[in-house]
Structure 1
């Protein structure tokens, strides 16, 4: 099968903040299969996008990567601050944002979100009856709304979709039904139990690197 061309007008942004409060350890570096969560997510983005960057918190240890690593422009604003940073500094009009705790990202699911961007400021799937802001696309017109939210300390990303100034497309779960692994693309690892479940799906073939 001929490889699909890489996307060059959207930047892939990987949020790797490093807080990991519910995990109890830095989840960026725990392994699923034979790679760390960070490596798994970054590798997938690099197969889809020509331009990829990583965003980390101002007060956390950075990550080794062969792409640009950015620190949050505004501190202590969680994932919203990470999206704001990536979108502010990207050289493309849109960014696709995901988090490093999603070990089974599916390139086809990512491409479907990105290919739904035309005329839109936000493209966000709704899977498992929940919006998926960490597997979504954001355009530059979101920046004023994001900045306003951060100034008000309203950090819930999904509230962006109610901003009347933004054009929003919500992708229903059924739109991914013809993709075998699409639903796994939205699974994340926040707790030790989540990690155990992920390792059941893809066990390591060698000694785990903790």
Structure 2
């Protein structure tokens, strides 16, 4: 079986939320606890990338600061590749309460079977780079080169590697309710996501009352 590291990016400023959204209570547990719980079954190496390492010590996971500070999401992606203990690395955002282990498992299979470097969901909105799987050996140098050239877009280096897009027809099987890519940037987003979760009993935390 292929070893998979999973990096949860919790480095954003949560400016639109006003508070640290990763630590907000989502149905009785911090959002980042929910995400780590959902992803731990598919991960051999689960860790958090954050500038606030002390805030996440209670989770018992590795917490790592950005290798290159103040570079935004691409800086987090670089850190994920550099710090991963496995050859394959999934990177997810801390504000996606319906993150899909099934999609990540499928991405890993597609990446390995096709000898690709990136396996990534591709929707009508475009690529979902914070819900994708990467090959460390090829992606790490490509990201370093992009950053050295002043590129900050998360996908600015894709032309230098082999990318496999997971199209919507396949995603509709893995995520029939189309929830996986919902993020919670605002209080309204967060409250709406809570209500969605309540409508899906399988998405409730263990022992939820």
TM bucket by the smaller chain?
Answer: 0.7 to 0.9
- Unmatched 5+ stretches in structure 1: 1-6, 206-210
Supply the RMSD in Å over aligned alpha carbons. 2.1
Matched-pair contact (CA < 8 Å) for 2:100–2:175: no
Matching residue of 1:168 = 163
Matching residue of 1:34 = 28
Matching residue of 1:191 = 186
Matched-pair contact (CA < 8 Å) for 1:8–1:49: no
With the length of structure 1 as denominator, give the TM-score of the two structures. 0.85
Structure ranking higher in helix proportion = 2
CA distance in 1, matches of 2:61, 2:19: 24
1:66-105 correspondence to structure 2 within 5 Å: 66-105=60-99
- Unmatched 5+ stretches in structure 2: 199-203, 205-209
CA distance in 1, matches of 2:33, 2:46: 13
CA distance in 2, matches of 1:62, 1:153: 30
1:79-158 correspondence to structure 2 within 5 Å: 79-118=73-112, 119-140=115-136, 141-158=138-155
With the length of structure 2 as denominator, give the TM-score of the two structures. 0.85
Is 1:62 the counterpart of 2:62? The answer is no
Report Cα offsets for 1:35-90 as digits up to 9, x if no partner: 22111111112121121111112x67531322211111110111211121121121
Matching residue of 2:201 = none
Following TM superposition, by how much is the alpha carbon of 1:94 offset from its aligned partner in structure 2, in angstroms?
Answer: 1.5
Aligned partner (choices 179, 191, 195) of residue 174 of structure 2: 179
Following TM superposition, by how much is the alpha carbon of 1:8 offset from its aligned partner in structure 2, in angstroms?
Answer: 5.2
Q: Secondary structure at 1:185's aligned position in 2?
A: coil
How many matched pairs?
196
